[in-house]
Structure 1
Amino acid sequence: MTAETTAESEPLKRGALVYDPAAGRVGEYQDGSGPYALLRPVGGGREWQADPAALRPATQRERLSAGVRAANERARAVGANTPDPDDLSRPPLPVPGCTTCTELAGRREAACAEHDRSAETDANVLLCRHLREEHRA
């Protein structure tokens, strides 16, 4: 049996999600390497070798579980903390009920709609300044 077939003798296609019972996890089929199948964790990561005869298509539940695990790992890597208001890589969030915040956020939305990146940046800077001066203790 080659790395391109599963126990059911179906050819494996690159990107197919399969369950590796030896590793106890779902992997994305990458390629064959000699007598082994190369699998990669869902969402990325270090590849591992698996016995292609033992592989089977992942169930819907296993696929979902692997996807949730990958999303959780991404969230942990990025950090689930509240974004820093001084971080201009993300647009600042207006404080609900504040008229100045609402007005500046409206300016930003209008600039986005007009594809005016300069005005969008200006509105973000003004909103950050307002948040820092008026809403921070």
Structure 2
Amino acid sequence: MTTKSEPLEPGSVLYDPATSQVGEYRDKSGPYAMLRPVGGGQEWQADPASLRPATPRERLSAEVRATNQHTRAAGASAPPTPEDLSRPPRPVPGCPACAELAGRRETARAEYDRSAETDANVLLRQHQRKEHRA
């Protein structure tokens, strides 16, 4: 708990037992301390006498919660859809590098060399990501 001899510093991360929340100290408002959630949000009033410094675990938990909320708000809640790897890539018409890699793949197929066929598919996908996607 804070005492009169320990002034609250703006930005201090404190635990409020009345709300069971961790917040950053902002300022005083009358007899109350103004706290806001770590990472931003709506401020709340707390009794300065009941506040204590947040433990490292409480602080980490609050930071992770804030990061997760920002990530969800940004629309990144689901991982990006991976490209369909169940089918071999198609060469881009008119691209000599794509044609050469597709030729390598066809040669490997004709020779029943599945390892070389897979290698050609990987190289073709890498080439397409680098050269044909913005």
TM-score normalised by the chain length of structure 2: 0.60
How many angstroms apart in 2 are the aligned matches of 1:80 and 1:32? 36
Runs of 4+ in 1 over 4 A off after TM superposition: none
Choose which of 24, 29, 32 in structure 2 pairs with 1:28.
Answer: 24
Cα distance between partner residues in 1 of 2:10 and 2:30: 16
Cross-structure match for 1:80: 77
Q: Does 1:44 align with 2:69?
A: no
* Mapping for residues 45-64 of structure 1, pairs under 5 Å: 45-64=41-60
Partner of 1:9: 5
Structure 1: where are the runs of 5+ without partners? 86-95, 106-122, 129-137
Larger Rg: 2
Q: Distance in 1 between matches of 2:80 and 2:58?
A: 32
More moved, 51-60 vs 75-84:
75-84
Using the TM superposition, give the Cα deviation of residue 11 of structure 1 relative to its aligned residue in structure 2, in angstroms.
1.2
**AA aligned opposite 2:124:** T
Q: Which residue identity does 1:47 align to in structure 2?
A: E
Q: What is the distance in 1 between the residues matched to 2:69 and 2:35?
A: 18
Pairwise CA RMSD: 2.6
Alpha-carbon deviations, 1:97-133, whole Å to 9, x = none?
243644763xxxxxxxxxxxxxxxxx6xx414xxxxx
Structure 2 equivalent of residue 134 of structure 1: none
Secondary structure in 2 aligned to 1:39? strand
Q: Which runs of 5+ in 2 are unaligned?
A: 83-120
Alignment of 1:62-101 (within 5 A): 62-78=58-74, 79-83=76-80, 97-99=122-124, 101=126
Task: Output one character per residue of 1:43-86: Cα deviation in whole Å (capped at 9) or x when no partner.
Answer: 1100001000000000111101111111111122123224489x
> Out of 11, 14, 19, which is 2:15 matched to?
19
- In structure 2, what residue type is equivalent to 1:27? G
Q: What SS does the aligned partner of 1:31 have?
A: strand
TM (norm. structure 1) is 0.59
